[in-house]
Structure 1
Amino acid sequence: MATLNQLLVIKAFFYVSDHWELAAVFLKYPELLEEEIDSVFEEMIGAIRDEGKGVSLENLPILIERHQKLKNVRPILRELIAQQQNENMSKDALQEALAIALDTEAFLDVAYAFINASTGEEITAAFVKYPELLEAEETDHIFVALMDSAIKHGDNESAELFAECLQQLKDIRVKLREAVSQQYSHALILQKAQEEQAAKTAKTDIKLLLTAMQHFLDVSDAKAAYVLFQTYPELLNEEMNPLFEASIAAAQKQCDPKVAKFLKERHRLLKKLRQEARKIFKKDSFHRTRH
Structure 2
Amino acid sequence: MSDARPAFRFAPSPNGLLHLGHARSALLNDAMARATGGRLLLRIEDIDVTRCRPEFEAAIHEDLAWLGLDWERPVRRQSEHMDSYRAALARLDALGLVYPSFESRAEIRRAVEARPGWPVDPDGAPLFLFPRDAMSDAERTRRMAAGEPYALRLDMARAADRAGPLDWQEVSEAGDSVTHAADPRAWGDVVIARKEVPTSYHLAVVVDDARQGITHVVRGADLQAATSVHRLLQRLLDLPAPLYTHHTLLLDEEGRKLSKSIGSQSLRDLRAKGVTPDEVRQLAGVPSAAHDG
Same fold (TM over 0.5): no
Q: Which has the higher contact order (CA 8 A, sep 6+)?
A: 2
Q: Report the TM-score when normalising by structure 1.
A: 0.25
Q: Which has the higher helix share?
A: 1
Question: Which structure: larger Rg?
Answer: 1
